[in-house]
Each structure stands twice: as C-alpha cells, then as structure tokens.
Structure 1
Amino acid sequence: MNSHGFALVTERRLHEVGGTARLWKHGVTGAQLLSVSNADENKCFGVSFRTPPTDSTGVAHILEHSVLCGSDKYPVKEPFVELLKGSLQTFLNAFTFPDKTCYPVASANLQDFYNLIDVYIDAVFHPRISEDIFRQEGWHVEAGDTAGPWTYKGVVYNEMKGAYSSPDSVLAEQSQQAVFPDMLYSLDSGGNPEVIPDLTYAAFRDFHSRYYHPSNARFFFWGDDPEEKRLEIVAAALQGYTARQVDSAVPLQPRRGTPRQMEVPYAATDGQKTALFTVNWLLGERGDVHQALLMEMLEHILEGLPGSPLRKALISSGLGEDTTGCGLETDLRQMYYSTGLKGVDPRKVQQAELLIFDTLAALAEDGIDPAAVEAAVNSVEFSYRENNSGRFPRGLSAMIQALSTWLYDGDPLAPLAWEGPLAEIKARLAAGEKLFEQAIREHFLDNEHRATVVLLPDARLAGEREEREATRLAAVHAACSDAERQALVDATRRLQAAQEAPDSPEALATIPSLGMDALPLRNTPVPCAQAELAGGRTWLAHELPTSGIAYTALLLPLDAVPARLEPLLPLFARGLTEVGTARRDFSELGARMAAKTGGVGADPLLATTRGERGLVKYLSVAGKAVYDKLPDLFDIFREILLEPSTDRDVRLERLRQMLLEDKARLEHGLVAAGHAAVGSRLRAHFTPSGLLAERLSGISQLMAVRGHLQRLDSDPDSLLADLDELRRLIVAAPGALVDCTAESAGLAAAQRQAAGL
C-alpha cells in the first residue's frame, strides 16, 4: 500500500490506543511516519530527530531554542509567541533529551492543528539560524565598551548556569553520567556553562545540517484528523530532499564489572553542610517492554508509597531529610535506576548506602509482602488503563513512549501494546513466581554495573566559578586587538538593536491565525446535575465517558479554620493519607489505597469568586476507582477522616519525617525555581486566594514548616492538639460538597456511597 510517496510498513489495531496505528516510510528520503488514528479530538503532531552530542557545549539544546526564532516562511523573531495570539493550541513546546530533540504540538481545532504543523515543519527544516540568533539563544560576549569588563550572556547559557547552581539538577546529571561513562550519555546535552563558550557558530550550523534532515526524522500523528491529509502534508514538506546517510545511531553502554564511586562538589549556600547521594544501577534496554513494565511495578513496590520498604527504611533511619534520585529512568536506550537521600551528614553517606543494600537483600531473601505486590500491579495497570497524561495531551505521551524503541530502530508499536506483557506478568505472579525478588537480585544485588554519586557542599564553589569566568573573559579581552574589541562592542549593539526592533507588519502577516468563523459559538458545556444529600451536603454529578472510572472528591469547607491554624493545613492534608489510622499504620493504609483505588489524596483547594474577587476555600479529599471498587474508596474516605490514629509516638514520628521532607523540598525548590516563589509572593498582594496560597505553599510555608519542627522539639502536644482541632473544624463543617465525574452507572454507585458517608 502506497500513498503520497509513503509505503506502508506495518499496520495494527491497538486496543490500548483506541484505534489503528500505521507505520509509513517515505520512498525518497527514508523518513518514517507513525500515524495513530482514533477518536481523540485533541490531535497531536510531532517531529523528532536523533541528535547525539559529541561534547557538553549544549549544541542540541541551543539549536532547539534557535529554530524557534523564525524561519523562511515565517520570518518573525518569535513566531510561536505570535502564533499563540491566534491559536487554540493545547500544547506548543519542544524538548531536548540526551539523544533526541522533539517538536510536538496539539490542538482540538483542525485548522489550528494544520497551522501549528506548518509553522513547526518550516521551523525545523528551514530556520533562520543567523549568527545573531546563535549568540542570543546560545552564548556571546556582552561587550558594553572596549575597556570592559565583559560578561557572557545567552538564553541557554543563563539557563544552564541556573541548573548548575541547583544541587538536585547537578545530582541528576551526574548520576546519569556515572551510569554511562563510556558513551554519549556521559555528556551534558543541555550544556555545561563552562563548556558552552567553546561552541562555534560553524559547529552549530553543521549540527543542524547533519541531523535536521528528513532521513533522520520521525514524524508522529495522533487523533481524529484524516490520515490521508497527514501523508499529504509531510510529503509536501519533503519535496526537494533526497536520501542521506545520517550517522546518528545511539550505541549501548558496555557493562562494567566493578562498582564506581564519585564525589562531586555543589555550590552550598546559607551555611549548607549536608550531602546528597544516589546509588545508580544500569538495567536492560528500554525495548524490552516486559522488563520495563516489571521494573515499573518494582519501583512502585520499593518507593511508590510513603510506606514502601525502601523509602520507609531511608526516611525512618533519620540519616537524611528526604529521598532523592529519579527512580526508574526509561527515556534512554538503556534504563537505569537511581535512589538515595538528601540532607545527609557526609560522614554517614556510607551508612545510608549500606542501608539501601541491606533493605534490598532482606526483600530478596524474606520475600515481598503480597499486599505490596497487589498494590504495585494494580497501580501500574490502573495508570496504563486510565491513560491520564495530566496537562500533556495523550498523543504526546504516546509519542514519547513510541520513541523509546523507535528512536533506536526498534518497533515503535511495542511500548504502546502493553496489554500482552501485563497479562504475562500477572499470569506468572498467579503461578507463584517470585518475579520481583528475582528482579532485585538480578538488577540490584548481583549487578556490578552501578555507581554511587555523592554531592558534597562547597561554600567556595560558586565564587570560584565566577572567578574562572572572569579570568576567561579577561584573557579574551587581553588577546583581542583594538579592532577586535570594537568589533565585539559593535556586535553587542547590533544584537541589542535587533532584539529591540519590532517585526515588520509584512512578517507578522505571515503567521497563520484562526478567524472568528473557525471558533465554536459556545464552549462545550460540562454536564452538572445537583442534588441534596443528608446533613446539608450537596451532590454534584458530571456524566462523562471515563472508561469505567469514577473520579470523586469530598470538598470540606475551611471557613471555620482560624488564621493561626491555616499554616498547618498542608501538614494536616498530607497526614490524612500518610500518618495512618486507628485501623492501619501508614504502610498498610498506603498499600490498601494502591490496591483498591487509582489513588487517594488531600489538598487545600483555593479559588477566587467572579466579580467580588472573594475567597473560596475547601479541603479536597479526592480519589478515583473503578465502579466495583467504590465501596472500598468510600471506606477509605471514612477511615482517614473519622478514625485517626491515637498512637501519640507514632504520630509524632511520622509528622517529623513528613516535615523534614517538606522542608528539604521547599528549600531546594527555592534554588531550582526561585522565580516561582517570587511569583507566589507577588500574587499574594492581589487576591485573598493568592495570599492564602502563598501561606500554604510559598516562602511563608517554608518558615511555618521550620516553626512546626521547632514545636515538635519544644511542645509536641500543642502541635498535636492544633491538628486535632483542625480535624474537628473541617470534618464536621456544614456545607460540604461531594463531586463525582463518571458514566451513569458509576454516578449512581457513587451517590449511594456518598449518602451513607
């Protein structure tokens, strides 16, 4: 079967994607196109390239930014900013991975979808990557005058300086590089700020010419748009190209037989004296879908819940403040697993590392609790069946999954067809095989290809980096002739002028936008039926297709909570599911939630009323479950709200662990995303909901958490009394809402359960 110059390679009806998947290959260029046709109105397109780096200059990252700065057909400085003004896009972005660069878009409007595709295809194949764009997005010497001093600037350069100041980011990067010391994953595709200025414009242009070619491209479509039009669009974009041999293959990391240990400094601030560390194991290829699924379940068993054995052992040891490590990494050709602790005394890192191995050995020897296995299998299966990709379109999630094998010349449909491997794992478990105990021995205990990475605080590192940068710039200045210095000053002024100059009306007119006739006259209404339940509660029902899953939330008013107790709300909410109850400790409670539901959680819900800009505040206790498990879900609601733990010592120990975790996350978040804290602080001045949100999640919450920890030491019973008071004020408050989204059968079942709560 051929169409528009494409030959059909394979075709498969996949229940998992709700449609038919076809892999096509372009006859002239060899470009590949994966087309998934289903009923999803949120259509997704992406074009991806293998972009293996040969150094840490960040060329792939800089190029990702640069191709989005205008193209031959759309010669404006920021086409995507302009595009947003007349688009109904549901996704518009780009990603740089260690071995690939992806350009995905999504929209539920067909004309808008085609507009986005046209701009993206022209961007990647025909970008205006001038030297000024390279200097703006990558790096340049900012020369204000010939006398100096000069500085380095550039979007990616500044971004990566920020990343290298974050201990979490440095630990993640160093952990990956330690696992893959002999191949391209040992390089920083994002760019090392000390190496980025080594990148030349010629090398930058050469990288685009080499890898951004149709012979190295993988096109992806998803949704309810016509497939024939997909082939037509891409075929038109490929006209004029011929086949080319592109050497972009990603090699395997050879297995090593000796463990490694690395010590790396991080830029400590505010007197930080603690270390972070991870233990990292190389696993098998991502193309083994069965093993990938099994390892997802094992990750859930080990660390997926607050009471999971490895997470529990690390947190309850008191050796650190919070766990770290990415867990199971599946975005590369070979998977790896990373776990560890942050906030550790450097002298106790080895003790914490031994604890990890002792815990794993005990699980392999003594066996894993069947309840934990049931919880892991249910959670992973629920996640796959629900296919809830959050704020990302489902098509984008499917594209990333397909690329996990497709990029390495494997079957792109294998990761999407997960039903078979899942059924096989469940059958082997039912037959009594100790799959997870075997996996622990094979992949962790007997796996000598592992690396321990320790980040040690260095209060001088930030200053030394700035000094090295200043010295390098001084050397550049000294090596320049007067004419060369003036040329750099002129180049700086030219770039600034280009940045400040507006696009011409003619250039702006090239950007496609939707007209009024392309817009729906009305928003699609969300169905909502309302009824009254006993006790003054309101029932809100939304009948929508949910694949047999009921999404239910109890919204408990917070109006009776005094201001002095509000900073405790995040701790109280988290404690509902993570402290335990009178019936179960927190490990047993977590396992029950994972085995019977798709998740249960509690969070403050804040909003601003329209018009008066008043504050609406609830505690949302929410969960999701298949219809026949709704009695279990509501029993869990009942248990966590009405049957609190009465064991004082257990409560205090769990509260301490949770507060230390929250403290570590909030503190590290300030370094990694200080702009978010600033934004929260600013919003606090404009609306009551913004003010309360800052108190519950911003810098004010960090100060409150530190205060809670001090109270645990000085007056723990007063803290417990305040939490008990919060429970009394919230659980019994009048005006509660019960909100449920499901099909009619699920709504009826949920309403019966809600009436009895």
Structure 2
Amino acid sequence: MGRNGFSLVEERQLPEVGGTARLWRHDATGAELLSVCNADENKCFGVSFRTPPTDSTGVAHILEHSVLCGSERYPVKEPFVELLKGSLQTFLNAFTFPDKTCYPVASANLQDFHNLVDVYLDAVFHPRISEDIFRQEGWHVEAGPDDAPWTYRGVVYNEMKGAYSSPDSVLAEKSQQAVFPDTLYSLDSGGDPERIPDLSYAAFRDFHRRHYQPGNARFFFWGDDPEEARLARIDAELARLEPRGPEAADAADAADAAVPLQKRLDAPRRVVVPYAADPGETRALFTVNWLLGERGDVREALLMEMLEHILEGLPGSPLRQALISSGLGEDTTGCGLETDLRQMYYSTGLKGVKPDDLPRAEALILETLRGLAENGIPAEAVEAAVNSVEFAYRENNSGRFPRGLAAMIQALSTWLYDGDPLAPLAWEAPLAAIKARLAAGEPVFEDALRRHFLDNPHRAHVVLLPDSSLGETRLDAEAARLEALRAAASPERRGALVRETRRLEEAQTTPDSAEALATIPALGLADLPPQNQPLPLTERRLPQTALAHELPTAGIAYVSLLLPVTRLPERLLPLLPLFCRSLTETGTAR
C-alpha cells in the first residue's frame, strides 16, 4: 500500500503505545518513517541520523549546534530563539549521541507542531553552515590586532573544555571507551578539546553531505495529528532534495555509517588515567564495566533493567549498600545499565576512594555479585524489581520529556542498526516471558549475574587518579600550540586571522533584518483554542472532601493525601519534610 510517496513496510496494533504503529519507506529516497497514531495531544516529531565519528574532533556535536543557526527558508541567526517567542512548544532541542544525532520537537497545538516540524526539516537538510557559523559553534583562533596571545574559542570547544574538567564526565567517557576499545565508541563524539582544533571546515561540510541525507534519515511521528499530513509533509520536503537513497550512496559513505559490533575480549583490562584535581586532592574514582548483549534483544534488555534495580535501584539494594557501607568511598558512580548504544554495558563504582583502597573496593563489587549468584537473591527484592520496572513501563512517565520522545529513543535503539523499530515498543510479551520463568522457579537473575558479570571476561576497570598539575599542563600545551601557529603564520595570515575575528564579532552583534525575522512562523489568535480544556472533576464527602479526576492513566490510580498541620508546633515545622521522606522512604519491620 502506498500513500504520499511512501510504501507501507509494517503495521502493528500496539497497546503499549495506545494505538497503531506503521513503518513507511519513501519510494524515491529510501528514507524510513515510523508513524505512531494514538490519542496523545502532545504531538512529537523527530528526525535522526546515524552519525558515527571517525575521530574525536566532535564533528557530529558541532554540526548539531550549527544546523540550528539558520537555514534556507529561515535565514536568521537563532531561528529557535525567535520561534520560541510565538510557540506553545512542549519540547525543542537536539541531542548528539556516540553514534546518532536527533532533532526532536513537540507541541499540543497542531499549527504550532507543523511550524516546528517545518523549521526543523529546513534546518537539517538546508542549513546555512557558513564558515563563520562553523567557527562560532565549533572552534576558531581569536586573534587581536596587538601582540596579545591567541586563544581558542567556540561554543562546543568551550563546552567540552568544561566537560573535561569534570572528573565525573571524564570517568563516564573513559568507561565507555574502555568497554569498546576497537569501535567508534572508543572515540568522543562530543569532542576532545585537544582534538577539536584538528577539524577543518571542509571535513565539517563533508560530514553533513554524507550523513544528513534521506537514505540515512529516520523520521518519527507520535500523537493525534493526521497521518496523511505527516507523510505529505515529509514527501514534500524530500522532493526538494536530490535523490540520494541507500542505493545512491557511495561505498565509502555506507562504510562510514555502519556501527560495528565490539569483539569480545577474553581477559579483563585496566585503564588508569589522570584527572585535573585541586591541590591537595588525594581521592580517586573508579568503575568496573562489563560488555553485555545487543540492545536488539528486547527480552534481555528488560531483564537487565530489572537486575539493575535489584543491584542498585534503592538505597538498600545489595550492591549499592555494600559499596556505601564499606566506608571505602564517598558515593557510588557509574551509569549503571547503558542501553543507548548497539551493545549494552553495565558500569558501577565508587568515587572519593583512597588509591590504596582501590583493590579492596574493586574486589568488593565482584564479591557482592558472586555472593548474590551463589546464595540467591531475596524473593522480595526480585518481586520489587519486577513490579518497579513493569510499573515504569505501564505508567510511561517520561518526566519533562514528551512520551513520544521517549518512544522515539526506544525505537532508535534497534532501528538505528537496521533492526525492528517496533520491537522495543512492544514490551508486554517479553515482560510476560520473564514473569513466566520466575513463576516456574527459574533462577533468572542469578543466571544473568553469572552470564553477564561473573563468567564474562570482557570487563574493564577504569581508574581516575588525581593530578593537581594536569590543568596547568593542558593550558600550557594549548598556549604552546597557539604560539607555534602564530610563529609559523606569515604576516598576511596573521592579518587575515585578525580580520576573521573582527568579522565574526560583527556578525554576532549585527541584528537580523526585519525580512529575515518575518520568515519565522508564529501562532496567531486564530490558532489558539478559545477556551481551556476543563479537567473532569467529581467531588465526594467521605466525610472528608475527596476530589476525583477520571483521566486516561493506563489503569493506574494516583492518590494525593492532604493533611492539615495546624496543630503542629512551629518549632517542629523545619523537620516536617524530613518526617515526610522518612514516612515514605524508610523500610521498617512492621
């Protein structure tokens, strides 16, 4: 079946998303579109590209920033700042992952939603990305007319310098790289400040040409907007582009876009790196990391979510409790279960550890896991984990993120690697299978502990040791690099850099023209509902007053109890928040 230039690949009724999901493929370009039709008024759209890096210059991250700096139809410096002035958006942002870049928007107003979609589509496929934009968002040498030292500047460059000054950020990055030493995940897609200045404008433009093309795009829609309009809008946008689907992409492009599997190591490895510490700091940080299975195994991914909850999900969880109560460190660290990459991994550890205590702390993790596997996990912990994960899936509370965005990220966890995008959304069957195994008495989580942790030699120990001179060493190296550039530059080149610096400053301070600003769509009164949507309300006397709101909550009842505290002495009021937390978070024997 074909509609608006698309052919239907698959259609499935999914109670998990409250509607119908259809996977479409664009006939002319090969672009794929996942369309979820349900009753959610908070409509969500996203276009994502597979953007695997080949180095740590941060090109994907810089491009994510740069395409949002004006486009063919919307030639203003910050279209999204202007868009916000006349929008009811519920989400407007972009993300760079280690292997993909996503551009999602959301709104509960249909006209506003279409405005957002139009601006985003033009941004990613027809960005201005001039050399000045590259220099502003990525990096440039700032040169003054006098003999003052040259400096590196750029939005992403400065952002990543901040990230590399944070021990927690460095530990997270180094942990991922240690687990994947042979694949693109061993690179920093955000950008290593020492490598960012290696990126040329030509390479930046070429990255956009190769990756921001229809055959590499994955379009996603969610909500109650008409599906026909979705297909027509994307078809019209793709018609503006030169056909360049998978069959038209050259072999190099196809190879660049691939995300290979990490081959399993047959022995644990250890990585020790310094971090920039304040003078007198003696504490270390560490993680122990395991490579797990592919994210495409939805049942195993769900099982690992439950195991993560068992191990560290609560203050009293056995692994978390063992680490905290050991007194060997100040707090736990590590991302836990990472499911955003092609292969999952698990990371756990401690920060604030004395270097001499590192062997004991690392051994404690393995001893705790071995004890759980051999002695069994308490039944109540298993029940709590299964119930918590199942409740989270049924409630589908994505916090400040729209539910559609959460669904898009889930779908991409298989879709990006040419797997079934609907599999991660259809979680009921995998959940039922796990519960059936537990009901049959199988040691499901004990077996998982042995398979993924104890008997898994692909393990990486990452240690960050304090180095109070590292920050100064990096500054000296940066200054030396810039001084070498300056010394090698001809007088003509130095003058050109001064002019480029001045031109960029002028471009940044020059306001957009009235004609350019007029291109940004904005809502008018006619686009707004004349009345607010009333919430259903029923009032009862029990004899206390009870207010009930009948809303679609997937069968989950939410109760808020409001208790008067007029009889509480004023001197005890500061303790009330602590009492409330204790009442709901502290386990007791009765």
TM-score by length of 2: 0.95
SS of equivalent residue, structure 1 residue 488: helix
Equivalent residue runs for 1:300-699 within 5 Å: 300-527=309-536, 539-555=546-562, 566=574, 573-581=580-588, 583=589
Following TM superposition, by how much is the alpha carbon of 1:550 offset from its aligned partner in structure 2, in angstroms? 2.0
Aligned counterpart, 1:255: 264
Distance in 2 of aligned mates of 1:449 and 1:74: 49
SS of equivalent residue, structure 1 residue 208: helix
Aligned counterpart, 1:131: 131
Aligned counterpart, 1:291: 300
Distance in 2 of aligned mates of 1:388 and 1:496: 44
Following TM superposition, by how much is the alpha carbon of 1:532 offset from its aligned partner in structure 2, in angstroms? 6.9
- Closer, same or farther: CA 489–569 of 1 in aligned 2, 3 Å: farther
Following TM superposition, by how much is the alpha carbon of 1:569 offset from its aligned partner in structure 2, in angstroms? 6.5
Distance in 2 of aligned mates of 1:495 and 1:557: 60
Aligned counterpart, 2:149: 149
- Residue type matched to 1:553 in 2? S
Distance in 2 of aligned mates of 1:122 and 1:463: 43
Distance in 2 of aligned mates of 1:274 and 1:335: 29
Larger % of helix: which?
Answer: 1
Distance in 1 of aligned mates of 2:501 and 2:483: 17
Aligned counterpart, 1:667: none
Following TM superposition, by how much is the alpha carbon of 1:561 offset from its aligned partner in structure 2, in angstroms? 7.2
Distance in 1 of aligned mates of 2:525 and 2:79: 21
SS of equivalent residue, structure 1 residue 552: coil
Alignment deviations for residues 616-647 of structure 1 (CA, whole Å, 9 cap, x no partner): xxxxxxxxxxxxxxxxxxxxxxxxxxxxxxxx
1:226 is the counterpart of 2:235: no
Query: What is the aligned-residue identity percentage?
Result: 75
1:210 is the counterpart of 2:210: yes
Distance in 2 of aligned mates of 1:516 and 1:563: 51
Aligned counterpart, 1:114: 114
Distance in 2 of aligned mates of 1:82 and 1:158: 24
- Residue type matched to 1:546 in 2? T
Would you say the 8 A contact 1:306–1:578 is kept in 2? no
SS of equivalent residue, structure 1 residue 261: strand
Would you say the 8 A contact 1:57–1:189 is kept in 2? yes
- Closer, same or farther: CA 532–273 of 1 in aligned 2, 3 Å: farther
- Closer, same or farther: CA 319–62 of 1 in aligned 2, 3 Å: same
Following TM superposition, by how much is the alpha carbon of 1:209 offset from its aligned partner in structure 2, in angstroms? 0.4
Would you say the 8 A contact 1:69–1:76 is kept in 2? yes
Would you say the 8 A contact 1:86–1:513 is kept in 2? yes
Distance in 2 of aligned mates of 1:557 and 1:273: 50
Alignment deviations for residues 73-101 of structure 1 (CA, whole Å, 9 cap, x no partner): 00000000001111111111000000000
Would you say the 8 A contact 1:60–1:189 is kept in 2? yes
Equivalent residue runs for 1:700-711 within 5 Å: none
Distance in 1 of aligned mates of 2:364 and 2:309: 19
Aligned counterpart, 2:71: 71
Aligned counterpart, 1:159: 159
Distance in 1 of aligned mates of 2:314 and 2:113: 39
- Closer, same or farther: CA 428–173 of 1 in aligned 2, 3 Å: same
Distance in 2 of aligned mates of 1:373 and 1:114: 45
Alignment deviations for residues 455-512 of structure 1 (CA, whole Å, 9 cap, x no partner): 1111111111111111111111111112211111111110010000000000000001
Aligned counterpart, 2:101: 101
Aligned counterpart, 1:691: none
Distance in 1 of aligned mates of 2:384 and 2:577: 26
Following TM superposition, by how much is the alpha carbon of 1:543 offset from its aligned partner in structure 2, in angstroms? 3.3
- Residue type matched to 1:60 in 2? A
Distance in 2 of aligned mates of 1:569 and 1:193: 47
Q: How many residues align?
A: 580
Aligned counterpart, 1:196: 196
- Residue type matched to 1:405 in 2? T
Q: Structure 2, unaligned stretches of length 5 or more?
A: none
Aligned counterpart, 1:751: none
Distance in 2 of aligned mates of 1:312 and 1:578: 15
Distance in 2 of aligned mates of 1:345 and 1:498: 51
Alignment deviations for residues 421-459 of structure 1 (CA, whole Å, 9 cap, x no partner): 111111111011111000000000000001011111111
TM-score by length of 1: 0.74
1:241 is the counterpart of 2:242: yes
Distance in 2 of aligned mates of 1:563 and 1:489: 65
- Closer, same or farther: CA 262–544 of 1 in aligned 2, 3 Å: same
Distance in 2 of aligned mates of 1:416 and 1:532: 41
Would you say the 8 A contact 1:146–1:486 is kept in 2? no
Distance in 1 of aligned mates of 2:203 and 2:469: 34
- Closer, same or farther: CA 160–565 of 1 in aligned 2, 3 Å: farther
Aligned counterpart, 2:13: 13
Distance in 2 of aligned mates of 1:144 and 1:544: 62
Q: Structure 1, unaligned stretches of length 5 or more?
A: 585-757
Would you say the 8 A contact 1:214–1:241 is kept in 2? no
Alignment deviations for residues 273-300 of structure 1 (CA, whole Å, 9 cap, x no partner): 2111110000000000010011011111
Would you say the 8 A contact 1:402–1:413 is kept in 2? yes
Mean Cα displacement is larger for which, 270-279 or 395-404? Answer: 270-279
Following TM superposition, by how much is the alpha carbon of 1:530 offset from its aligned partner in structure 2, in angstroms? 5.8
Would you say the 8 A contact 1:92–1:106 is kept in 2? yes
SS of equivalent residue, structure 1 residue 133: helix
- Residue type matched to 1:548 in 2? G
SS of equivalent residue, structure 2 residue 242: coil
Distance in 2 of aligned mates of 1:438 and 1:408: 28
Distance in 2 of aligned mates of 1:33 and 1:23: 6
CA RMSD of aligned residues (A): 1.8
Distance in 2 of aligned mates of 1:27 and 1:50: 20
- Closer, same or farther: CA 103–165 of 1 in aligned 2, 3 Å: same
Alignment deviations for residues 354-408 of structure 1 (CA, whole Å, 9 cap, x no partner): 1111111111101110111111111111111111111111111110000000000
- Residue type matched to 1:367 in 2? G
Distance in 1 of aligned mates of 2:358 and 2:573: 37
- Closer, same or farther: CA 178–565 of 1 in aligned 2, 3 Å: farther
Distance in 2 of aligned mates of 1:118 and 1:430: 50
Distance in 2 of aligned mates of 1:147 and 1:508: 39
Distance in 2 of aligned mates of 1:75 and 1:563: 60
Would you say the 8 A contact 1:180–1:253 is kept in 2? yes
Distance in 2 of aligned mates of 1:496 and 1:563: 57
